[in-house]
Structure 1
Amino acid sequence: MGNSKDVQLTATEIGIIWSLYQFKTMMVRVLEHLLEKSEDKESRKILTKLYDGEVRIVNELTTIFNNEQAAVPVGFTKKDVMKGVPRLFDHNFDLMYIRTMAKISIGYYALYSTMSYRKDIRNLNNNLTKHAQKVYDEITELLLNRGVLVRPPHISMPKDSEFVKDQKYISGFNFLQEKRPLNTIEIGHLCYAIETNTMGIQLMTGYAQAAKNKDVQNYFVKGKELAQKIVTEFNDILMRSDIQAPVTWTAKATDSTTPPFSDKLMMYNTNLLSTFGLGSNVIGGAFSFRPDLPIKLAMLAQDIFTFAKEGGKIMIENNWMEEPPHAEDRNKLTNKNQ
Structure 2
Amino acid sequence: MALENQYTLTAGEVANLWNSYMGNTMAVGVTSYFIKTATDPDVVEMLHNAVDIADFEVQGVRELLKKYGHPHPQGFSSEDFNFETPALYKDTIIILIKYILSQAAGPIYTVAHSEAVNYDVRQFYLTCSSRTSNFNAQLVELMEKKGLFHPKIHLPIPVSVDKVHKKSYMGGWLAGRRPLNAGEIMHLVTNIRNIEVEREFLTSFVQVNTSKVLIDHFKRGEQLAEKHLKVFQSLLAKDNLPQFPTLENEITDSTDSPFSERMMLYKIAVFASSTIARYGTAISTIMRKDVGVDFSRLMAELSLYGEDTLELMIELGYLDQIPLAKDSD
Q: TM-score range by the shorter chain?
A: over 0.9
Cα 1:250/1:227, change in 2 over 3 Å: closer
Cα offset, 1:170, TM superposition: 1.4
Deviation beyond 4 Å, 4+ runs, structure 1: none
Letter of the structure 2 residue corresponding to residue 186 of structure 1: E
Cα offset, 1:197, TM superposition: 0.9
* Residue number in structure 1 paired with 2:208: 210
Q: Distance in 1 between matches of 2:75 and 2:282?
A: 31
1:9 maps onto 2:20 in alignment = no
* Residue number in structure 2 paired with 1:245: 243
Cα offset, 1:251, TM superposition: 6.2
1:294 maps onto 2:284 in alignment = no
Q: Distance in 1 between matches of 2:135 and 2:87?
A: 22
Instruction: Provide structure 1 residue ranges, at least 5 long, that are not aligned to the other structure.
Output: 332-338
Q: Distance in 2 between matches of 1:162 and 1:118?
A: 47
Letter of the structure 1 residue corresponding to residue 253 of structure 2: D
* Residue number in structure 2 paired with 1:336: none
* Residue number in structure 2 paired with 1:109: 109
Letter of the structure 1 residue corresponding to residue 65 of structure 2: F
| Pairing of 1:24-39 with structure 2 (within 5 A) | 24-39=24-39
Letter of the structure 2 residue corresponding to residue 102 of structure 1: S
Cα offset, 1:242, TM superposition: 2.1
Q: Distance in 1 between matches of 2:227 and 2:308?
A: 18
Letter of the structure 1 residue corresponding to residue 18 of structure 2: W
| Pairing of 1:242-321 with structure 2 (within 5 A) | 242-248=240-246, 252-321=250-319
Q: Distance in 2 between matches of 1:174 and 1:302?
A: 18
Letter of the structure 2 residue corresponding to residue 154 of structure 1: H
* Residue number in structure 1 paired with 2:195: 197
Q: Deviations over 1:197-233 (max 9, x none)?
A: 1111211111111123221111111111111111111
1:171 maps onto 2:191 in alignment = no
Cα offset, 1:249, TM superposition: 5.6
* Residue number in structure 2 paired with 1:335: none
Q: Distance in 1 between matches of 2:93 and 2:40?
A: 13
Letter of the structure 2 residue corresponding to residue 22 of structure 1: M
Cα 1:158/1:281, change in 2 over 3 Å: same
* Residue number in structure 2 paired with 1:77: 77
* Residue number in structure 1 paired with 2:59: 59
Select the residue among 215, 218, 221 that pairs with 1:223: 221
Q: Distance in 2 between matches of 1:311 and 1:259?
A: 19
- More deviation in 26-35 or 239-248? 239-248
**Mapped contact 1:96–1:251 kept (Cα < 8 A):** no
Letter of the structure 1 residue corresponding to residue 292 of structure 2: P
Give the TM-score normalised by the residue count of structure 1: 0.92
Cα offset, 1:260, TM superposition: 0.3
- More deviation in 119-128 or 143-152? 143-152
Aligned residues between the structures: 325
**Mapped contact 1:148–1:249 kept (Cα < 8 A):** no
* Residue number in structure 2 paired with 1:334: none
* Residue number in structure 1 paired with 2:100: 100
Give the TM-score normalised by the residue count of structure 2: 0.94
Three-state SS of the structure 2 residue aligned to 1:330 is coil
Q: Distance in 2 between matches of 1:12 and 1:38?
A: 37
Cα offset, 1:194, TM superposition: 0.7
Q: Distance in 2 between matches of 1:155 and 1:283?
A: 22
Three-state SS of the structure 1 residue aligned to 2:250 is coil
Letter of the structure 2 residue corresponding to residue 103 of structure 1: Q
Cα offset, 1:246, TM superposition: 2.8
Cα offset, 1:103, TM superposition: 1.1
**Mapped contact 1:22–1:76 kept (Cα < 8 A):** yes
* Residue number in structure 1 paired with 2:121: 121
* Residue number in structure 2 paired with 1:22: 22
Cα 1:223/1:143, change in 2 over 3 Å: same
Instruction: Provide structure 2 residue ranges, at least 5 long, that are not aligned to the other structure.
Output: none
Q: Distance in 1 between matches of 2:217 and 2:136?
A: 29
Cα offset, 1:148, TM superposition: 3.1
Select the residue among 168, 178, 181 that pairs with 1:180: 178
RMSD: 1.7
Cα offset, 1:250, TM superposition: 7.5
**Mapped contact 1:173–1:291 kept (Cα < 8 A):** yes
Percentage identity across paired residues of the two chains: 21
